[in-house]
Amino acid sequence: MKKTIKEEIYSKSFKGDYYEIKISDIPKGVQDNDIINIQRCEAYVSENESYDAFTQLEIYREREETDKEYEKRLSKEQKLSEELKKRRYETYLKLKKEFENDSK
């Protein structure tokens, strides 16, 4: 089954304390179902590190994965499954050997 992919289509960072985001900062072509994420971080100063205040504007669009992406994901999942099975079998053999030696 194909998955929905959340893809970042726009990102912009604004430096400063109280930056306002204007509608003109949002690119044209944003669709009704796009997701707008606005993150505000206050300035931080400590003995070891510090950073300036900033606001991050990100716009995401959801889409269905392509056939190529779907096949690649399935292949990757299958390889991972085989690798995990191999590791479990190796662990099983080690435990079997350990408990066989204990019973003698």
CA separation, residue 45 to residues 13, 48, 88 (Å) = 20, 8, 48
Task: Report residues of the chain scoring pLDDT below 70.
Answer: 18-19, 103-104
Enter the pTM of the model: 0.64
> 74-90: per-residue pLDDT in tens?
999 999 999 999 999 99
63 closest CA partner among 37, 34, 89, 92: 34
Instruction: Please say whether the beta carbons of 39 and 55 come within 8 A.
Output: yes
* Amino acid found at 32: D
In terms of residues, how long is the chain? 104
| Mode of pairing for the β-strands spanning 50-51 and 35-41 | unpaired
What does the pLDDT read at residue 76? 96
